[in-house]
Amino acid sequence: MNNMMSLVLRTTGYFLLPLLLIFSVFLLLRGHDEPGGGFIAGLVAAAAVCLHLFFTDIAATRRLLHIDPRDLLGWGLTLATLSGIPAVFMGDPFFTSQWVEMTLPILGETKVGTPLLFDIGVYAVVVGSVLAIVLSLAEAEE
């Protein structure tokens, strides 16, 4: 049976896609203080997009992404590498964590640091690499 004809998969997929993406952002944001982080969050986000690929086609999945996965991989690697530079300007070794305390309207007083930038970069690398592989395999199958 064609996977595009499965009403259950399509309905469940449209329901689960935003939930999985929100969960991946949750894992990303809590990762530098507790278990989680860019790698596992990226895998969850890539799994959500792969689920979308199961009940749609490659063109619809690429439209969902709005960016080529290889570009996402490159930007993520760049961001992860750049997150180490602020430490050098502070007189610390490369990739030493740097923190800034700030007051945000909803969150109140919070600390934001370079580990979060690194995790966002890892997130983009994982999502980009997994989706580049999966989409290449899906295109080769057609």
CB 54 within 8 A of CB 9: yes
Q: Take residue 43 and report the two structure tokens written for it.
A: 């895998």
Decide if pLDDT at 1 tops 60. no
For residue 97, the model assigns a pLDDT of 87
Per-residue model confidence as pLDDT tens digits over 46-67: 999 999 999 899 999 999 999 9
The most distant pair of C-alpha atoms in the chain lies apart, rounded to whole Å, by 62
CB 112 within 8 A of CB 103: no
For residue 78, the model assigns a pLDDT of 97
CB 108 within 8 A of CB 116: no
For the chain, the structural domain boundaries read: 3-141
For residue 33, the model assigns a pLDDT of 66
Mean pLDDT, all residues of the chain: 89
Neighbours of 73 (CB within 10 A): 19
Per-residue model confidence as pLDDT tens digits over 24-35: 999 998 876 676
**Mean pLDDT value across residues 114-134:** 95
CA distance 111 to 118: 15
φ/ψ region of 93 (left if φ > 0, alpha if ψ in -120 to 50, else beta) reads: beta
The SS3 call for residue 138 is: helix
pTM assigned to the model: 0.87
